[in-house]
Each structure stands twice: as C-alpha cells, then as structure tokens.
C-alpha cells in the first residue's frame, strides 16, 4: 500500500504564498520521500507539548507539519511555512 499526501485548505494556501522554488522543493520532498510504500515516520520528527501527535518534516528553512493517519494511509499536511513562523 502506498501512502498518500493530502493538504488541508489552510496548508495549501500557505504553500501557494511561498516562492516557486520553495514550493517545488516541498512538493518534490513529499512526493519522493513521504508518498511511498514505506513508513512516513522514517523521516521527520514527532512534535511535543501542545502539538503532540503531529509530525514535522524539514525542507531547507521550511517546516511541514503533518498528521499521520495510519488507518487510511494518509499524511495530512496541516501547516507549511518558514521555520521562524510555523510554530506560532
């Protein structure tokens, strides 16, 4: 089974606000590393405190905050943004 990547409406809007190069790198990362038949937890790190249960992926200075739904084999992207702004 292959994991699929879906974007929350807010995350899709945040992605569109980034420059074209950053958008391409983030989408390539998700396509080549996360949207595969292997466990998406092999990359990234689990978050803590109020974001417990979510995962973070790093692409250059950008962060992708996701919820991994094991029962559906879906990685739901909740936030996309620069590392200085993403956790606020």
Cα 75 to Cα 16: distance, rounded to the nearest angstrom: 19
Query: Which listed CATH number (3.40.50.360, 3.30.2310.20, 3.30.390.50, 1.20.81.30) goes with 4-82?
Result: 3.30.2310.20
Domain ranges of the chain: 4-82
pLDDT digits (tens, 9 = 90+) for 29-79: 999 999 999 999 999 999 999 999 999 999 999 999 999 999 999 999 999
Element housing 14 (H / E): helix 9-17
14 within 8 A of 79, measured Cβ to Cβ: yes
Rounded CA gap, 78 and 84, in Å? 17
The pLDDT value recorded for residue 88 is 75
Question: Quick one: pLDDT at residue 31?
Answer: 95
Residue 87 has pLDDT above 90, yes or no: no
Q: Which residues contact 59 (CB under 8 A, 6 or more apart)?
A: 22, 25, 26, 29
State the average pLDDT over residues 23-33.
96
Q: What is the pTM of this model?
A: 0.92
């Amino acid at each position: 089974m292959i994991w699929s990547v879906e974007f929350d409406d807010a995350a899709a809007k945040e992605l569109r606000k980034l420059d074209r190069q950053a958008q391409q790198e983030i989408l390539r990362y998700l396509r080549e590393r996360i949207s595969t038949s292997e466990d998406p937890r092999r990359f990234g790190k689990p978050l803590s405190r109020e974001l417990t249960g979510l995962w973070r992926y790093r692409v250059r200075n950008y962060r992708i905050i996701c919820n991994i739904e094991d029962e559906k084999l879906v990685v739901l992207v909740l936030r996309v943004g620069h590392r200085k702004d993403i956790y606020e």
